[in-house]
Amino acid sequence: MIARKGIWMMLLSAVFFAAMSALVRGATGVHSYTMVLARFVVGTVLVALFFVFGLEKMRWRNWPWIVARGVSGGIACILSYWAIQEVGLARAVTLHHTYVIFAALFAVPLLGERVGLRQWVAIFTAAVGTGLLCGVGMQAVSYGDLVALVSGIAAGFAIVCVTRCRRTDSASNIFWSQSIFGIVLVAWPAARVWSPPTPAEWLVLLAIGLLATAGQLTMTYAYKFTGAAYGSLLSLLSPVLTAAIGILYFGEHQGAGFYTGAFLVLLACADLSLHPVRRSAQDVADALMEETASAKPVLR
C-alpha cells in the first residue's frame, strides 16, 4: 500500500515535469536563467500562501539537511537549464538524469538503503535507455557536458536530502527551501541577462512555475514512501513522457533509438516496482507512521 502510494505520486510528478519541459521548449525567446528564476519565485509564493492561509506550518526541523537540499537542488536546476542551452536538450537531459545513479550511490552510506545486484542492473538499464531515448552518440565531452554531469551529481545528492528531510519535515517546507535558496543563487545571473518578457512569455513563465511547483511537491511527497534510489528511478518516466509530447504535439521525428530507450526505461521501472530497493528500518517506520496517521478519522 505504501509503495503503491509513492509510485502513483511519482508518476504524477513525471506528468507535471513533462508538461513543464514542453513549455520550456516553446519559450525560445526567454533566457534559461529567467525561466529558472520564475520557477523559484512562483514556488516560493505558492508555498508562502500555504503558510498564510494555515494549510501548512512554516517549520524547518532538520536544518542541516534542509539547507543541503535547498542549495544542492538549486544548483542542480540552474546548471541543468544552462547546459540545455549550451549542448542541447538531448545531451543535457541525459547527463542530468544520471542523478538516478548518483542518488543510489549516495543513498547507501547516507540513508542506509541497500541496493542489490538486481537493482544495479535495473539502474544501469534505465541509464542506457535514457541515453538511447535522447539520442546521445559517441561525441567528445565538452565543457557543457561536464556542467550537465555536475547537475546530475548535485541532483542525486538533493534527492537523498529530500528523502532524509521527509523523516522530519513536510513536502511543502522541503520544496520551499529549494525555491528560496534557488532565488539567492540565480538572482544575480538572471539580473545580468534580464530582458522584459512579452505578455505571452509572462504567461508561459507563470505556467512553468506552477507546473514545476506541482511536480516538485508531488515528487517530494512520494520520496517519503519510495526511498531515494527507487523513487529517482521512477522519475525517469519524465523524459519518456517529454519525448512523447515532442512526437505528438511538436511533430518531432523519432527513430528506433527512442523506442528502444523508452522500452528499456519502462522495463527497468517495472522491475523495480516488483523488486524495490531495500530501505532502512527508520524510513520504513516513518512511512508506516504517516500512513497510519493519515488513515485515522479526525476527532472534533
What's the distance, Cα to Cα, between the start and end of the chain in Å? 28
- Specify the pLDDT at position 184: 93
Residue 45 lies in a domain: yes
Q: Which cell is 287 given? A: 512511512
For residues 297 and 261, give the distance between their C-alpha atoms in angstroms, rounded to a whole number: 45
- The owner of cell 523513487 is 231
Residue 299 lies in a domain: no
- Specify the pLDDT at position 251: 72
Check if the beta carbon of residue 103 is closer than 8 Å to that of residue 159. yes
- Specify the pLDDT at position 118: 86
Residue 298 lies in a domain: no
- Specify the pLDDT at position 108: 81
Residue 294 lies in a domain: no
User: How many other β-carbons are positioned within 10 Å of the β-carbon of residue 157?
Assistant: 25
Residue of 203, 243, 259, 291 whose CA lies nearest to 14 = 243
What is the total count of domains within the chain? Answer: 1
What are the per-10-residue average pLDDT scores of the chain (300 residues)?
72 87 80 92 92 86 91 92 75 78 83 82 84 63 80 91 85 88 93 92 93 86 72 74 76 75 80 63 49 39
- Specify the pLDDT at position 244: 77
- Specify the pLDDT at position 273: 61
For residues 11 and 126, give the distance between their C-alpha atoms in angstroms, rounded to a whole number: 16
Residue 295 lies in a domain: no
Torsion of the alpha carbons at 14, 18, 23 and 24, rounded to the nearest 10: 90
Residue 300 lies in a domain: no
Residue 296 lies in a domain: no
* Backbone angle region of 72, left / alpha / beta, with phi > 0 → left and psi within -120 to 50 → alpha: alpha
Burial level of 86, CB count in 10 A (0-12/13-18/19+)? middle
- Specify the pLDDT at position 155: 92
Residue 55 lies in a domain: yes
Report CA Rg, the chain: 19
- Specify the pLDDT at position 229: 65
Check if the beta carbon of residue 82 is closer than 8 Å to that of residue 146. no
Check if the beta carbon of residue 130 is closer than 8 Å to that of residue 97. yes
Q: Which domain holds residue 23?
A: 2-288
